[in-house]
Amino acid sequence: MNIGRPKQGVAYNKPTGKLIGFHARKGAAEPIRLARTSLREQTEKTAMSQAVQNYIDTHSKSQLIGFVLTFLLGPLGLFYSSWVAALILCVIAFSTAFTIFIPVICWLLSILVGFFAVNKHNEKVKAAAQLGIPE
């Protein structure tokens, strides 16, 4: 009779209050952790995820601001999202200002490009935050 003994393959660690199991194969002595993570580990994870979220919130760009700027200012408002695309569209729009058609196309194109540029920037910020690499 096994009175007061744990089941075979399972042990209880009194100081930490965790259940520890052992591999089923013969001769394996590596413990397997069965219990939940400790409060300290959970606190560290929460603090890390909060730091990541703070980084994302701080460095992300607003889709609404990007849309309003490109809607009101056209290619000039695109400097908020992507300075390269803004420069290209401004040169095209100003060099073809004598025609009304091409600057209007540049204006509408800047709204579309602004949306995708802000989205791409925010994805880069999320990836950098999760890897722990500053942008």
Higher local confidence (pLDDT), 108 or 133: 108
Which residue, among 124, 112, 116, has the nearest Cα to 59 in the 3D structure? 124
Each residue of 24-44: pLDDT tens digit? Answer: 555 555 555 545 556 666 666
Q: How far apart are CA 9 and CA 5, in angstroms?
A: 11
Taking phi first (over 0 means left), then psi (-120 to 50 degrees means alpha), and beta for anything else, what does residue 23 get?
beta
86 within 8 A of 75, measured Cβ to Cβ: yes
Where residue 17 falls among pLDDT bands split at 50, 70, 90?
Answer: low
Q: For 47-80, how does the pLDDT look when each residue is reduced to its tens digit (9 = 90+)?
A: 667 888 888 888 999 999 999 999 999 999 999 9
pLDDT (tens digit, 9 = 90+) per residue, 72-131? 999 999 999 999 999 999 999 999 999 989 999 999 999 999 999 999 999 999 988 888
State residue 23's pLDDT score. Answer: 47
Dihedral (Cα; 120, 124, 125, 126), 10-degree rounding: 100
